[in-house]
Structure 1
Amino acid sequence: MMARTLAEQLAAHFGAYDDDALTAGNRAAVKRLLLDYLGVAVAGSQTGSGKVARAYAASTGGHGQATLIGDGARVPAVQAAFANAISSHSVELDDIDVLALFHFSPPVYSAALATAEQVGADGRALLAALAAGCEMMERLSKAANNSLRNRGYHTTPTCGTFGATIAAGRLLGLSQEQIVSSLGLAGAQAGGLMEMYGPSMQKRFNPGPASRNGVTAAGMAQLGFTGAATIFEGERGFLAAFTDENDPGRLVADLGQPYRLDIEFKPYSCARPIHNAIDCALEIRREHAPDPARVRRIGMARHPDWVLYHQNARPATYHEAQVSLPYSVAVALTDGQALFAQYNDARLQEPLLRRLSELVEISVDESLPRGVSCRMTLEMDDGAQYVSQVDYPKGSIQNPMSDAELRAKFDSLAVPVIGASRAAEAAALVADIEQCRDVGQLMRLLSPAG
């Protein structure tokens, strides 16, 4: 008997996946992320990048199958997945994996929700699709990283395309054979570059095609379009094309065992590897209350995994500021927080923030225990020194945000856009999503009344 390819093994696994396969931990994780995703996407839909994405999706025409978050327009599922993924990545508050390599929800949740509306799925089917899509995405990241990232590919879209495909495929009821083909078609569309840091909206765009392409791959496979079964391990397959080093076995490791999804959440409106540095600054501020005007030097030791990233001390736009460690540390020291309000173009030229940003000296320390670890040394003009090291940032598995904190985050993002009544109704639906008979009922709440 011919050995099964990786795609065939994954298809057998995900083909048998349903709501009953969810562990209690994974059920809680994907439900918590659903509330978080919706709040972030609602807020993101009102940003410049979110507005453009919505306008583009609405301009394409076609059958109204799914809802654009933020305005309620009905568009084809592929366009809803595209625009909602961009919206959910537009305020830098979306979830993160434990290694800070990718975001689960923009590609996977956007594809799943659009497809769920398209087919009239219920909440139980949605949860199973979300968990399956997240698992697929993380398995591929584990097989491909850190080589994928180090070669310049952005994990969220490259691996997210496959996660979106599995999520959409589950909701479309694909057979195992069709799932194999859909994974091949996902590979034909995988991509996304790390050349995205700068003053433009480039970073916001990346999850959009991944989510759209996942819906496309699943839909084409459902109609009979076949794809390569060797898409992962083939001579010119995903792993060979996107990595220099990889571990194919991690794609299918322990397929018969319960899979633990470790999903982390973001309390700060910036790139996740910066959060440890912000926590260092907030800890020093809380314990020592240093006068920001009297700071003489800010040393920031980082692990080799991330030391070459986020170094821009003079961001020109808030997009750049959200991937700037120096600016984020500066605003944390002065404001005591790093929410979306702190990242706006008007703040970037404030003399104190500019001065503090330029004082940050980033260095490498191989002894730090985790890729995102940071150790900050703050020196004052009188010679006083304050030190803080953070290995697990707020929102991580080891330092989690509570349900109450996640609900407060959701309300802070959603209420200004859709109002308190709709926000409360949406949160209640998410909390009891297993009883929801039509996911469209939830999606219709995610725009301003009227």
Structure 2
Amino acid sequence: MITKKFADFIISLKYEDIPSDVTEKARLCFMDFLGVSLRGSNEKSGISALKALQPTLGKATIIGHGHGDPLNASLVNGIFAHSLDLDDGHRIAHLHPGASVIPAALALAEKEKVKGKEFLTSIIIGYEICLSLGIMINPHHRNMGFHSTGTCGTIGAAAASAKILDLNKEETLNCLGLAGTQAAGLLESDHKGSMGKHLHAGRAAQSGILSALLAREGFTGADTILEGDEGFLNVMSSGYDIKDGLGHFHIRQVYMKKYPVCRHIHSTLDSASKILNSLKLKSVDEAMVDEVIVRTYKVAAEHDNYKPENMEFLRQSLPVSLALFLLNGDLRLEHLKDFKFARELAKKIRIETDRKLDSLYPEKRPSKVILKLKGEKSEALTMLPSGEPENPLKRDDILKKFKMLNSEYDVKKLKILNEMESTPMDELMDELDLGGNKQ
């Protein structure tokens, strides 16, 4: 019984059982989440959500915008975290766990005044549950059109919430049952240039909290929500591999991102970076380029929109993202603001699906870029983009990313995260002073 195994894991895991490298990774994921969300709090999707919801007074931090009630704070923070396409992810599970799990755990942890030790335990549990489920059902789930961040993320957020509230087994099963029936997210939202993609993460976080709060009050959910004949696995996947992966701590394999675009584009950008470095060029201009060929795996090659109409479309466009990278020598948020000028160079980019490279996916995410400048050809191959566990971003890299995204924030305050275990989370968030006065 998969659902019951999940519930047993949630209830039984203690902070003392968790290896130190896992707690350190959770701490790093939290830091990354805070930096990305703080910058994301200025984006249109999050501001729109704030105006629509008008969160009531409460003690849960709405990053960059004061405080509010936990349900709405978690939803908005999830939108903030996912709106820039800079949040963490897992290549095999095909989802972004942090944007769903952390907002739920954080809002409840502040409300319940639990200490950092319990908070870290809860997000490790949330990551483990949603990533185990994502690994179990993908790539089938994704190929059917589901966005795992919204679907599996809901169940991960519920698991983290159940741990924060210290639910018993019956309550935890009800919590998972209620989360499973709310799990939603369609890739049509992602690939058609809408903010619905951002909503997937926020709604997952909010639904996780709602499931836990209802379960605590005796509201029941199906205790076979995952494996039942009409449950998650049988309805929302064309095939799945039941693996008892709990306890392997899949958070270890979570990647962190350098570029604010879809992860399937990152290997291409890293290959372009290698070429520029080898040629000792900071950037190129359109007149220098005869042709650019990208040979990559099928899913990446399908991100072939040459005329994105808005920022959400742009983040899914391989040719325009690559053109922007080549023109700027990097791809940062500020480079995305005026992207239409890159369309001319994008016309010179040819994208091909390479069968050999495609056979390596999803264990690898390979992309070869061939750049032809005035008849001279340079090429580079990237098997896995930077930030994967095989080539991870270190703490200093995440601090640099945080500072780059939020130049006015004093990153020295983040030192409190180094010894957060004994600090109540409401006090920790007050010391970090991330609420701002924008509300």
Residue-by-residue CA offset, 1:118-165 (whole Å, 9 max, x unaligned): 111110000000100000010100111001100000010100000000
Residue 112 (structure 1) shift: 0.4
Q: CA–CA distance in 2 between the matches of 1:216 and 1:53?
A: 18
CA shift at 1:260, angstroms? 5.9
* Residue in structure 2 matching 1:269, options 260, 265, 269: 260
Q: Alignment partner of 1:301: what SS?
A: strand
Partner of 1:216: 210
Q: Could you tell me which residue of structure 2 aligns to residue 32 of structure 1? A: 28
Conserved in 1, the CA contact under 8 Å of 2:3 and 2:224?
A: yes
Partner amino acid, structure 2, of 1:273: H
Name 2:81's counterpart in structure 1.
88
**Which one is further off, 27-36 or 295-304?**
295-304
SS in structure 2 of the partner of residue 233 of structure 1: coil
Deviation per residue, 1:194-244 (Å, 9 max, x gap): 012234322222111111000011111111112111111111000111111
Structure 2 residues not aligned, in runs of 5+: none
Deviates more, 1:319-328 or 1:364-373: 364-373
The amino acid that maps onto 1:89 is: H
**Alpha-carbon distance between aligned partners in 1 of 2:16 and 2:203, rounded to the nearest angstrom:** 31
Q: For 1:252-331, list aligned pairs within 5 A.
A: 252-253=244-245, 255=246, 261-288=252-279, 289=281, 291-292=284-285, 293-308=287-302, 310-331=303-324
Distance in 1 (CA, whole Å) between partners of 2:251 and 2:58 is 36
1:300-345 Cα distance to aligned partner (Å, 9 max, x none): 111134332x21111122222111111111111111111111111x
Aligned to 2:390: 398
- Give the equivalent residue in structure 2 for 1:365: 354
In structure 1, C-alpha distance between the alignment counterparts of 2:220 and 2:284, rounded to whole Å: 64
2:37 match: 41
Q: 2:182 and 2:372 mapped to 1: Cα distance?
A: 49
Looking at structure 1, the residues matched to 250 and 16 of structure 2 have their Cα atoms a distance apart, in angstroms, of: 13
**Residues 100 and 438 of structure 1: CA distance in aligned 2, closer, same or farther (over 3 Å):** closer
Report if aligned partners of 1:53, 1:87 keep a CA contact under 8 Å in 2. no
The one-letter code of the counterpart of 2:270 is D
Whole-angstrom distance in 2 between the partners of 1:45 and 1:436: 25
Instruction: Tell me whether 1:389 sits opposite 2:381 in the alignment.
Output: yes
Judge conservation of contact 1:100–1:273 (CA < 8 Å) in 2: no
State the match for 2:435 in structure 1: 447
Report if the CA contact (8 A) 1:300-1:362 is conserved: yes
Task: Tell me how far apart the structure 1 counterparts of residues 149 and 202 of structure 2 sit (CA, whole Å).
Answer: 10
Structure-2-length-normalised TM-score: 0.93
Is 1:424–2:420 an aligned residue pair?
A: no
Task: Give the unaligned 5+ runs of structure 1.
Answer: none
Match of 1:410 in 2: 402
What is the CA–CA distance in structure 2 between the aligned matches of 1:279 and 1:179, rounded to whole Å?
A: 43
Q: 1:17 aligns with which of 3, 13, 18?
A: 13
C-alpha contact 1:298 1:377 (8 A) present in aligned 2: yes
Contact 1:201-1:319 within 8 A present in 2 as well: yes
- Amino acid paired to 2:371: L
Structure-1 residue corresponding to 2:133: 140
> Which amino acid in structure 1 is aligned with residue 48 of structure 2?
V
49, 56, 74: which is aligned to 1:53? 49
Q: Quick one: distance in 2 between partners of 1:448 and 1:367?
A: 50
Q: Structure 2 matches for 1:92-103, cutoff 5 A? A: 92-99=85-92, 101-103=94-96
Distance 2:249 2:104 in 1: 24
Q: CA deviation at 1:405?
A: 1.1
Q: What secondary structure sits across from 1:50 in the alignment?
A: helix
Which letter maps to 1:272? R
- Percent identity between the aligned chains? 29
State the SS of the aligned residue for 1:392: coil
Matched, 1:435 2:422: yes
Matches within 5 A, 1:111-130: 111-130=104-123
CA distance in structure 2 between the partners assigned to 1:86 and 1:193 by the alignment? 16
Alignment: residue pair count: 429
The within-5 A match list for 1:64-83 is 64-72=58-66, 74-83=67-76
State the distance in 2 between where 1:395 and 1:301 align.
21
Please say if residues 127 and 251 of structure 2, whose CA atoms lie closer than 8 Å, have aligned partners that are also in contact.
no
Counterpart residue identity of residue 448, structure 1: G
Query: How far apart are residue 259 of structure 1 and its match?
Result: 5.7
Which amino acid in the other structure matches residue 245 of structure 1? G
User: What do you get for the CA RMSD once the two structures are aligned?
Assistant: 1.8
DSSP 3-state at the match of 1:363: strand
Question: Greater CA deviation, 397-406 or 262-271?
Answer: 397-406
Cα 1:135–1:117 shift into 2, 3 Å: same
Partner of 1:177: 170
Q: Is the 8 A contact 2:128 2:249 kept in 1?
A: no
Are 1:341 and 2:330 matched, yes or no? Answer: no
Report if aligned partners of 2:260, 2:315 keep a CA contact under 8 Å in 1: yes
Match of 1:104 among 94, 97, 104: 97
Contact 2:144 / 2:237 at 8 angstroms: preserved in 1?
yes
Q: Deviations over 1:266-294 (max 9, x none)?
A: 01111111110111111111111374322
TM-superposed CA distance for 1:258, in Å, is: 6.1
CA distance in 2, matches of 1:199, 1:366: 28
Give the match for residue 224 of structure 2: 230
Gap change, CA 1:307 and 1:446, over 3 Å in 2: same
Q: Distance in 2 between matches of 1:97 and 1:216?
A: 25
